[in-house]
Every structure is written in structure tokens, then in C-alpha cells.
Structure 1
Amino acid sequence: MNLDALLKQPEGKTLEFKGNLGAAEPFLRSVVAFANTAGGTILLGVEDRTRRVVGVQDPLVLEERLANLISDAIRPRLIPEIALLPWRKTHLVAVRVFPSPNRPHYLKAVGQEEGVFVRVGSTDRKADRVLVDELRRYARDTAFDEQPLVDLDSEALDFRAASELFAPVRRLTRRDLTVLGLVVKHQGSLRPTAGGVLLFGKERERLFPDAYIQAGRFGGRDRTRILDTVEIRGHLPTAVEEALAFVRKHESVALAIRGARHEEEWSLPVVAVREAVINAVVHANYAQRGAPIRLSLFDDRLEVENPGLLPFGLTVEDILQGVSKLRNRVIGRVFKELGLIEQWGSGIARMVTACRDAGLTDPVFEEVGWHFRVTIRKERVAREAADPVEQAILSLLRDGKGHTTAEIARAIGRTPRATRTRLAGLVARGVVTEVGSGPRDPKRKYYLAE
């Protein structure tokens, strides 16, 4: 376990700092939340707000107590990795929790209904019934949209509408409904799946009243002044194009001359907008009631938000690396067949590339409440260039070993005081991170921010 790498990071979905154990329940909630979500590490001996390293007393005693607490208080049982990590003249205790195949885990004293927690950002949240059901489906390796709706028959699907949507791709047959997972055999009869109804159900709005896109254009940078709003309630594949049409209606479009052709240029990159909408439709948690997919246009940004967190086991860092897990397999399969998805796991990368090519900052991906949000900002932001002294500091830190103020000062030929000023500026800009026991720690080290 790389202690320096842990100390460089802020708290988040897979990392929790605790100055000491204190009350047992907050610690146990974090263990449960990590096991249920994407795994993670709890580092005891580091203050959570300041990241000041304070160490722990009696690390061997603490290690045994933590192991007993976890064994006695959590069901199904968990066996995390507990390690004692030396740091200068003290020790830290790291509890590494792996994503569990036996979800959902819960606090024994609270019970299965109230004791299930998941990780959202740097917080532990109590899971509601919908989320607990999703954890159970994940453990069974089934998706919500694959479940049969046993009170309906196959005629509940609008075969004509489905055929018209598939017409530009190929001729749709009744057998294709089974191949695509739109219907499944249940107790000898064909029944539509939740995904089939969400895509082509005749009574989709009655059965899934929140399965639509709510699009809004707001004046300014908040939701105070509504300029236009529309509810896009068509079949999910066509809803993507309707959402793009709404964005086009409200965004400035210029004509660029390329050779003999005139091409439209949006103030927002159309590829990024399309991918954000498709991602929201394909990965929304349609079991979650009370909130549709939301597309919000502001003067300075576009937000696309869908109900549901990232699929269990995934972090924002994972999806930026191209790792993907499909929450809705039926919807994803149909979107792939229709050519709306080019390649699994490529959508996030396409969004990032499109924004960079347009001279915009990278889109922001985040879990907010029980939702997942993509934000694309409109303004072109010039990246602040490092001057020669800062470039020398950054060049030194690229070795990843971490360096003290004194080491950096010697390397760049500046006094320690002048070097501290430079480092403070780089830290404030988020380019460099510092690790130590406090602002007066002469041994604190600096690293390139990840």
C-alpha cells in the first residue's frame, strides 16, 4: 500500500481520512459504504479536513479492535485488509475495503432495511429501498431493464414504432424482440421486459411516468429565470434527437466555410452534447421515481443529469479511463443496434476530446445526491502558463518521489522563503499538493497533483 500516494489525494469516493477512531459507528458506516459501492481505503491518523498527519496511539491494539468491530458489526461478514504504515516517528492504520460480491452489506445493529450505506463523493449515505434492490440485482448480475413485467403480454410493445425506428438499419422481426431482450419467456409465456416497455411500450408513461427528458433554458447562471422549457416524452431513441434540437434552438450557431462547403458550428460541441444525452438515457436508474432526466442550459454551461449514481464498482476516475458498466443492458443493446452508441466505453472520451478540440475546459463528471451529472462549460479558458521558475519546480516533481521545500530551493536556486511562496501559488492553483503534519512542518513534501 503506497502511503505517499494516499496522502496526496483528497477524500472522495474511495478514500476516507480519520484523525482517530472515535465512535465506532461512523467508521463502520464507511466500511459498509465502501464494500457496497466501489471499495476504498480508510486511513486512520490523518485529519479529514486539513489532511494533517497526526498518527495513532497503540497501533497494534487499534488494528485488533478494528478487525473485531468489522467482524462483529457488519453482515454479511467482511474481511478487509488492515495494515500498519510507519510514518516518521508514528504509525497510521489503513483499512482497505474491496468491492464486495455479496452486496448489500449492512450494520447488524440497525438491520437490513435501515443499515445499508453507499458512498457518494466523500460521504456515506443511507441507501433507500430502490438502491438496496439495485444492490441485490448487482449481486445476482441482473439489470433492472431485463426484468419481465409479468402483468403484461408482448402486445404491450408498439411493434410498429420499433420497426419504424429500426427501418434505416434493418428489418425488425418478431424474433428480434427476444434477441434484443425486449421480451423474455416467463412461465411459458412471452412477457415484455422493463427495458422493452421503456423503449417501445404503449403505456410507457403510465408505467414509468418519470422516463422522459425535461429540458430547460435559463437566463443567467442559475434557475431563477426560466426562458423556455419542454418535456420530451417520445420513445427514448428519438428523445435524443429532440433534446439536441432543443439545444440547437437556444444556442448560437455560426456558419464555417470549409472549402466549397458551409458547416454549422455550435457554441457547444455537438458531439459532446449528444454523448452526454445518450449517456444519461442509457445509464439512468429508471427504478428511481420522482425525477426525470434533466437537460439544463444556462448562459455559461450545459448540465445533463440522470437519476442514479454510477454503476456499483465504478468511480469517475474509472470512466475517464474508458472503463464502463452498463446499467440498462436492453436499452444499451438497442441503442448500439440503432447506431446511437459507436463503441462501449467510448462516450466519455469522446466528450472530453470534443470539448478540448473546441477550446473548452474538460467536462465535469460528478455524483450529486442520488444523480449523476455532466457539466459542459461554454467559455474558452486560457490555461495559465507556468513561468521558468515554476517549470523548474514542476520538472523536479515529475519524478513522483516528493520533495521538501529545502530540496526544491536547492534545485531551482532560490531561497527557501521565495520557494515557499512559489509552492503556495502552485498549491492554490491545484497544480501541486503538499503532504505533512501541518503548515509549519519542515519535512512536508510536495507532489504533482493527480
Structure 2
Amino acid sequence: MPETNRIEYKREPHTDVDIEKEVIAFLNYYEGGVIYIGVDKTGNVIGVADADGDALKIKDRIKNNISPSAMGLFDVVVEEREGKEIVKITVASGSEKPYFKKKYGMTEKGCFIRIGTAVEPMPQGMIDKLFSTRPRNPIGKIRSNRQDLTFEQLRIYYEEKRKPLNNQFKKSLELLTEDGTLNYAAYLLADENGVSIKVAKYRGTNRVDLIENNEYGYCSLIKATKSVLDKIELENRTATQITSKERIDRRLWNPVAIREAVINSIVHNDFTREVPPKFELFADRIEITSAGTLPENLNEDDFFDGVSIPRNRELMRVYRDLELVEQLGSGVPRILESYGKECFRFMGNFIRMTFPASESVTPQVTPQVTPQVTPQVERLLAVFTGEHNRQELQDFIGLSDRKNFRENYLNPAIQAGLVELVDPNNPTSSKQRYVLTALGKRIVSQ
């Protein structure tokens, strides 16, 4: 394949190869692009001797030599072609144009743009125009209204991926504003915040008969995302059809497409509007609605082609670190493999995805039965205000006997489905916390 407006080849990764210039040109280009190291200008694979080492050096150069920060806007991976290793750099179009070399600033020596297959210096007039229209309120530049944030949940998720966070993680993950205060991205990823994501379920095809309303949030956005994914996976049951020749198992929705849609709606949601994404299950479909419109300079054709302009690059970087996102621009094409473009609806302030179910979503819904609640359990439910550990709940009730509390209060509430463990994978953990289930909240409200 020859070079195009979105593909650039470099034979070798020598220091005299201006990788920053090529990356900046794609960051400033409305479609982004891909750079291959170890391929000559005609597309012949040459390979590189130390692909892993070269990839690491390239990451450092992009991270340290380009401004505004390109973190979350590029991938550097090693690929094998024709038995040889090459380095692939995927670059998304940035939302904070113009991007430039830190050494030269916003000048024609520092700013570049892609024109066809060539990289040209950006005229000063274009630099000034792009800067004047640069968005002023990305989540990385908004100061969090809380500065007492903690990040234990985020630490745990990084440790699970064997990427432990060091003491400088707030800076390296760009969770600080230019003056060193925690930003809105930090607020969204913190252990406690005011953001809640709702998953609602209706009996029919409209919003009249609400049969279930779950909230996942007031915690790290990563934890909330995983909770939403788990809930929708639970709802995405398998229907079985037996024919004379075979057994056919079919999910309500394609699981790969739905996962991509959930992740996309959260990562690209415009949180500056203080409106979280919303997930609604109807008898015949699932609707996923996120706040915001297509980024400037991105039209619907580009969107469907997989052109990526991450709205929240700080979140994108973390979601990629935790392997919730695979590659830049891969989400929409994965969805389109199973569903048509008509599933997307672009509104004035929102983007909605609607996926029809392979059969009725709600026919198997069993009526909600109110369990028998003992006075002890009733007393326990009444003291919940959020997440609590055992000692807090015991103190609220005024009990000193731990055995009595567990046998007559906590365990019966859990067995009745009124209280659940925040960390069910570690039921005996000394850091275990408890929260009301949807049924528990209903009992309290009644």
C-alpha cells in the first residue's frame, strides 16, 4: 500500500528522523493518521532491529517534546509483517489544536499540518486561528471543586494490570491543572464524586412502566463503568432455538458491539455539561445516550470511518492503560460490524445509539416480591446513607457484639438481597464495605 494522506512510512527510527514533526502533523490533521517505522516509501517491509526499544523511545519523544500533551491521543505498538518487526504509531486528531514542538512553540518552525502525503509548516495565520478557537474547558483544565480526593480504587485497577501507580501518578496521568491542583478528570476517577450513571429497565417499549432503576456511581468512573458493563452483560441473556438439525444460541445483542458502545458513550461523554451517559432497556431494544455532539471538524462520514478525536484524552489514556479500550478509533467500526449506521442518532446536544433486541427483552421479568423483613434488618437498612464498613454500621445501630450484628442484622439482609458487598470477590476482606441493593432501597422508601 502506498503512502496516503493518513499513512506515512519511515524506513528507520534514527534520531535524525523527525517523528515529532510527523505526529504533530497528524494531531493537527482532522483525520489523524498512522506512521509505520520499518517500511520504505514504496511500502516494502524492511523491519527494525530493536522494535521494543524503539517503541519505548518513540513514546518518550512524543510525551516529552509535543505540546499540548498528546497523551491519550496516540498508540505505539510493535507488529510483525512478513516475518519482520515494525513499529506502528496511531495518531488521533487532537481537540486542542494547534499542536507544536515545545522547543519552537506556536510558530511555523514548531507547527505542522498534513497536506496530501507531505508534511508542511503551518502558516502563522492558521496557527493563530486554531488557537483562537481552541476549546477552553476540557476536563484536564477544569479545577475540581474538591481537592481532598483519594484514588485507592484506581490504584487497585492499575495493580491488577501489573502497572502499579507511583507517587507521581497524578502528574503522569495528567490529573493536575497547570497550577498543580486536581482537575475534573481526577474528580471523575476519584474514589468519591457526585457522578452517577443510571441503567433503567422498562416493561414496554416506552418510558411509562419503569420496572428497574439502578445507579452506578459516586465512585471512580472506572468502577462505575465496570458495574454498567456487568449489569448489561447480565441482561444480555442467551436465547436458544432448537431445530431438527442444530441448536442455535443467540444473545439479545452482539456482546462485542454493546461493550464498545458502553465504553464509547462514557469515554467520549461531555462531562463538562454535568450530564452522565444514560442506559435504558426496553422490551424491544437498548438505548445508550451520551452528552455532547460530534467534535468540531468531524462529520458523520468521518465518524463512521473510525476517525477518532477523543473528547476526554485523560480518560482515554487511563481506559487504554486498563485495557478497557483496545485501539484508537476501533469502537465505531466494531459496532458497525453488527449494526447499521441507522442505529446512531445525532441530536443537538446528545448522541444516541439504539440497538434492537433479537427477541423481547422483558418477557421473563418476574414480579418483584417484597421479602419478609425482621425488625433487626429493618433497623439496619434505615442507617444506610451510602457505602459503609461493618464497624460503621455496627456503631450506627449501637451494637457492641459483632457476632450478634452479623447473625441477626447483616447476614439476613445480604441473604434477602437487600444489602450487597462492594467487593464480592473478597468477602472476608478487612476493607469490605456494604451498600443497599435496588430492592433494599425500595424497601427503605416504602
Q: TM-score w.r.t. structure 1 length?
A: 0.46
